[in-house]
Amino acid sequence: MLVLGIESTAHTFGVGIVSDEPRILADARYNYVPKVGGIHPREAAESFISNAPRVLSEALRSAGISIESVDAVAVALGPGLGPCLRIGATVARVLAVYYSKPLVPVNHAVAHIEIGKMLTGARDPLVVYISGGNTVIAALYGGRYRVFGETLDIALGNFMDTLARELGIAPPYVVEGVHALDRCAEGGRYIEMPYVVKGQDTSYSGLLTAALRVYRSGARLEDVCFSAREVAYSSLVEVAERGLSQLGKREILLVGGVAASRYLVEKFEVMARYREVELYVTPPKYAVDNGVMIAWTGLLLYKHGVTVEPERAYVRQRWRLDSVDVYW
């Protein structure tokens, strides 16, 4: 079985093709990189329009197949930025209708988790999903990924990007796999910052404000970066540890773009070691947004008969992880 998957929730327009062996046959991507500031949704969407045909044909070419031999077309319908989502959805609907292929609706968050599980071999993990738009601790219970903790305000990746931008050290946010905040934290010393854990939830907006205030009152840049990072990462590891303890899970799986931060991974390694649990980290290449994860999750869904009529395949900007039924 071959499934083609389309990702376009934020800054990446990706087309992946997978088979059920499982094998990754194609992984084509276009990344929108803003010149200044963060993602401008309309600009991102416009750049997707001009790059979508190229990315699609590149995927088919590298897989060495024609679109006719695909069994289903999967698409990330949410959560994400509306203008960006609509490009992927439009391309997918067109392919499904024109080539008479079943259309499979995929939740982007579920896809991050499923590709992580497939690539790492994690079986029943506590999932820590961390990216620019998400900070979620979840686990599969009763047919859904239940959310055990999440950020009460901004996501960890959003916090890191915004702080880096306000400190004047980004964009670019990530260079050679290292985030600007991690880079600037080198040689920093700890100064006190607000550490917020509310039950199983984290919060980063107060930390962002405090870090900027401390910087503007004359603290050294590296100390601000170091302290803000330490507090942000540590509070995440703490809520993950709480989740492990509450659920009695023996595995942790890190998914999402921020899982590429090796400083964060190091903290999780320390915790996993003394708690004697297995830590699985999605390889950075597939931890960030990509079409392969949509194709793979689409394949799982399609095997369980989940499809959507093209005329009903609306995008859902706020499609929550815990509202999706998981059949496998």
- Binding stretches for another protein (CB under 8 A): 78-79, 133-136, 139, 141-142, 146-153, 155, 190, 192, 195, 197-201, 230-231, 233-234, 237-238, 241-242, 244-246, 267-268, 270-271, 274, 316-323
Closest CA to 243 of 196, 197, 176, 289: 197
Closest CA to 61 of 17, 6, 99: 17
Q: Are strands 72-78 and 103-107 parallel, antiparallel or unpaired?
A: parallel
Give min distance, CB of 199 to another protein, in A.
Answer: 4
Give min distance, CB of 230 to another protein, in A.
Answer: 5
Closest CA to 70 of 92, 40, 85: 92
Residue 279 three-state SS: strand
DSSP codes joined into one string, 85-117: HHHHHHHHHHHHHHTT--EEEEEHHHHHHHHHH
Q: Which CB sits closer to another protein, 59 or 315?
A: 315
CA 72 to chain centre: 23
Give min distance, CB of 315 to another protein, in A.
Answer: 12
Q: Which CB sits closer to another protein, 50 or 245?
A: 245
Residues 315 and 87: their CA atoms lie apart, in Å, by: 10
Amino acid identity, position 69:
S
Q: Which CB sits closer to another protein, 26 or 128?
A: 128
Give min distance, CB of 237 to another protein, in A.
Answer: 5
Q: Which CB sits closer to another protein, 56 or 272?
A: 272
Q: Which CB sits closer to another protein, 55 or 137?
A: 137
Residue 47 makes CB contacts below 8 A (sequence gap 6+) with 13, 30, 32
Q: Which CB sits closer to another protein, 142 or 305?
A: 142
CA 195 to chain centre: 24
What radius of gyration do the chain's Cα atoms show?
A: 20
Q: Phi first, then psi: what are they for 112, rounded to 5°?
A: -55, -45
Q: Which CB sits closer to another protein, 18 or 228?
A: 228
Give min distance, CB of 80 to another protein, in A.
Answer: 9
Give min distance, CB of 78 to another protein, in A.
Answer: 8
Give min distance, CB of 98 to another protein, in A.
Answer: 31
Give min distance, CB of 148 to another protein, in A.
Answer: 5
- Structure tokens, 129: 């999903």
Residue 291 three-state SS: helix
Helix (H) or strand (E) holding 208: helix 205-216
Q: Which CB sits closer to another protein, 88 or 102?
A: 88
Q: Which CB sits closer to another protein, 97 or 210?
A: 210
Instruction: Give the CA distances from residue 107 to residues 80, 87, 99, 300, in Å, rounded to whole numbers and listed in that order.
Output: 10, 16, 23, 12
Residues 136 and 293: their CA atoms lie apart, in Å, by: 18
Give min distance, CB of 244 to another protein, in A.
Answer: 7
